[in-house]
Structure 1
Amino acid sequence: MRDLLLPLTRAYARPASFDYAAWLSAEFKAPLTALYVIQAFLGGPVFDSPAVISDAIEFLREQRRAAGEGSAAFGDWAQRRGLDGYRWQAVEAPYEKTVAAAADWHDLVVLEADEGNECADVTTLGQLVLTCRRPCLVVRSAAVFAPPRRIALAWNGSAECVRAVRSALDLLQRAEEVIVLGDVGLSRPRGCGSPPGGITAYLESKDVPLSASRHRIDSDAAGESMARAAADAGADLLVMGAYGHNRLSEWMLGGATRHLLQHSALPLFLQH
């Protein structure tokens, strides 16, 4: 984990995603890029009459001023957190496409979850998880940060789960305990190259501190079941593959990934 991306649309807010990004940057000595994406009319005036045009222009000017002034504020915050490598980048462009493009140059994207912010609601988060091509760490804006010492790992043998395990391996190795949610006997389909001995043997070979306890998941209510099992295990973080079934049907019908993005109080490490 060498480069971290922290997208934002509010120059001075410091939600819990910032705490997580700071911890990751310090723990892995990974440079942190704060990407401030200016959205011309995000949260601005409603265009119901010509009189609001001047207000809209002023709103955009305020965002642009914040882009310049926010750099110094972010630098002060990063120095107070003891970060060595950090930078501020401001871009005026569509949010989702900008973040997805920037993600290609980073190893992990740290995202804020906040239903009151249209760039951090469940729909936008879902699209970013699908299009970033990088693992995403989603943190509820009002969460209280805790280092991920006890990590829940959702396992169903899918390709998405395998990618999630590989991407999160550095975090899993640093944990005090990793609890598997699901059936450790499940493996990838024949010909897909499951690790010898299955997922348990693989994690043990990588010095991941596995818990002896196992938690089954109810496939008929997977999202609720995973959230409940992770909470019962006292987990600080849930690692899972995102959108293991047909993506359109899961998104439209409210699958496990969508449920967790919308309701989980735990930070989510998601990999599509």
Structure 2
Amino acid sequence: MSYKSIFVHLDSSEAVHSRLELALSLAQQFDAYLTGFFTVYRPEPGSFYVLAGSAEYYAEFEHRRLQQQGALERLFRAEMLRMKVAGEWRRSTEYANRCVPQAARLADLVIVGQYNREDPESFVAQQFVENLVLSAGRPVLVVPYAGQFHHIASHVVLAWDGSREATRALHDALPFFRHAKQVTVLTINALNGEPVSSRVPGSDIATVISRYGANVATQEIEGVKDVSIGETILSRAADLEADLLVMGCYGHSRWRELVLGGATRSILKSMTLPVLMSH
């Protein structure tokens, strides 16, 4: 099993170059076809015409977007040629929460960036990453806006709770597990209500992962009560010097809002390493 098609969302944010570099590196590593998909937030043209001068503002806005797009496309094509990666450049002016999930469903792995509140250019659509993870049906690798990630998955942490979402994430991450030097199965409060003689949490699934040739260890954290589960996972991943976190994403739609599980929400906000999420 491998990733033979990789999709990376590109925009005009400050972190886009780091994300593109990682996507190219992974495409080269897995000999995958890389699709660079450029789309950004686009206000409705009609919304600008209520004030004098707003038409000119919109024209300038579009001109700047075209310049940013052109520069990034030239970089994308040059880097693909330099790294001998096959792929294509695509762009869309449609609403991102509609067009990106549709396009992403054709890929084995989807790469997006974490939203950065300090960078307005990283806003693509309301709850963009959350919507993509819940609706694309593909594993989504979310890259933090802070830091450089040239290579990942030397040490992978799997946040394991035995759920359907975690199981999906595990199997979506198998190509990374097979290339990793170390995989750690992390469980939290797994022995709640269990007798003292219970077997080590995560041991069964660690055995499954080891059949793919991975070096697997288990770690359990018990008694977590007053601390966020997401923060606990990130803290332990940092202690282990992991460079990839794999986890299931919990969430559902409620009216016009996406409601996410606490750990998912916390990690999307405070992530310090790339996170592979599946739903």
Instruction: Tell me if both proteins adopt one fold, taking TM over 0.5 as the criterion.
Output: yes
The residue correspondences of 1:4-43 to structure 2 (distance < 5 A) are 4-10=6-12, 14-41=16-43
Give the equivalent residue in structure 1 for 2:247.
Answer: 240
Q: Does 1:95 align with 2:96?
A: yes
The residue correspondences of 1:108-119 to structure 2 (distance < 5 A) are 108-115=109-116, 116=119, 117-119=122-124
Which of 101, 118, 125 is the equivalent residue of 2:129?
125
Q: TM-score, normalised by structure 2?
A: 0.81
Contact 1:11–1:70 (8 Å) recurs in 2: no
- Would the alpha carbon gap of residues 27 and 254 (structure 1) be closer, same or farther in structure 2, given more than 3 Å must change? same
* Equivalent position amino acid for 1:99 in 2: V
What SS does the corresponding residue of 2:185 show, helix, strand or coil?
strand
The residue correspondences of 1:130-145 to structure 2 (distance < 5 A) are 130-145=134-149
Take 2:70 and 2:109, find their aligned partners in 1: how far apart are those partners? 25
1:130 deviates by 0.8
What SS does the corresponding residue of 2:272 show, helix, strand or coil?
coil
What SS does the corresponding residue of 2:276 show, helix, strand or coil?
strand
1:234 deviates by 1.2
Take 2:145 and 2:84, find their aligned partners in 1: how far apart are those partners? 21
Take 1:175 and 1:184, find their aligned partners in 2: how far apart are those partners? 26
1:100 deviates by 0.2
The alignment covers a number of residue pairs equal to 256
> Unaligned regions of 5+ residues in structure 2, if any?
192-202
The residue correspondences of 1:257-268 to structure 2 (distance < 5 A) are 257-268=264-275
- Would the alpha carbon gap of residues 231 and 120 (structure 1) be closer, same or farther in structure 2, given more than 3 Å must change? farther
Contact 2:39–2:124 (8 Å) recurs in 1: no
Give the equivalent residue in structure 2 for 1:190.
Answer: none
What SS does the corresponding residue of 1:92 show, helix, strand or coil?
coil
What SS does the corresponding residue of 2:32 show, helix, strand or coil?
coil
* Equivalent position amino acid for 1:100 in 2: P
Take 1:97 and 1:21, find their aligned partners in 2: how far apart are those partners? 22
Identity %: 28
The residue correspondences of 1:1-272 to structure 2 (distance < 5 A) are 1-10=3-12, 14-41=16-43, 49-68=51-70, 70-80=72-82, 82-115=83-116, 116=119, 117-119=122-124, 123-145=127-149, 146-182=151-187, 198-211=204-217, 213-216=218-221, 218=224, 221-243=228-250, 252=259, 255-272=262-279
1:246 deviates by 6.1
Contact 1:251–1:258 (8 Å) recurs in 2: no
* Equivalent position amino acid for 2:148 in 1: V
Q: Deviations over 1:170-222 (max 9, x none)?
A: 10111000011106989xxxxxxxxxx831221122212102x5132637621
* Equivalent position amino acid for 2:178 in 1: Q
* Equivalent position amino acid for 1:119 in 2: V
What SS does the corresponding residue of 2:232 show, helix, strand or coil?
helix
Which moves more between the two structures, 60-69 or 254-263? 60-69
Take 1:113 and 1:183, find their aligned partners in 2: how far apart are those partners? 25
1:40 deviates by 2.9
Take 1:48 and 1:259, find their aligned partners in 2: how far apart are those partners? 39
Q: Deviations over 1:96-116 (max 9, x none)?
A: 111100011111110011322
1:147 deviates by 2.5
> Unaligned regions of 5+ residues in structure 1, if any?
187-196
Provide the aligned C-alpha RMSD in A. Answer: 3.0
Which moves more between the two structures, 172-181 or 215-224? 215-224
What SS does the corresponding residue of 2:92 show, helix, strand or coil?
strand
What SS does the corresponding residue of 1:134 show, helix, strand or coil?
coil
Q: TM-score, normalised by structure 1?
A: 0.83
- Would the alpha carbon gap of residues 12 and 258 (structure 1) be closer, same or farther in structure 2, given more than 3 Å must change? closer
- Would the alpha carbon gap of residues 137 and 167 (structure 1) be closer, same or farther in structure 2, given more than 3 Å must change? same
1:53 deviates by 1.4
- Would the alpha carbon gap of residues 254 and 78 (structure 1) be closer, same or farther in structure 2, given more than 3 Å must change? same
* Equivalent position amino acid for 1:111 in 2: V
What SS does the corresponding residue of 2:12 show, helix, strand or coil?
coil
Take 1:18 and 1:262, find their aligned partners in 2: how far apart are those partners? 21
Q: Deviations over 1:66-100 (max 9, x none)?
A: 445543332112223x1320211111110111110
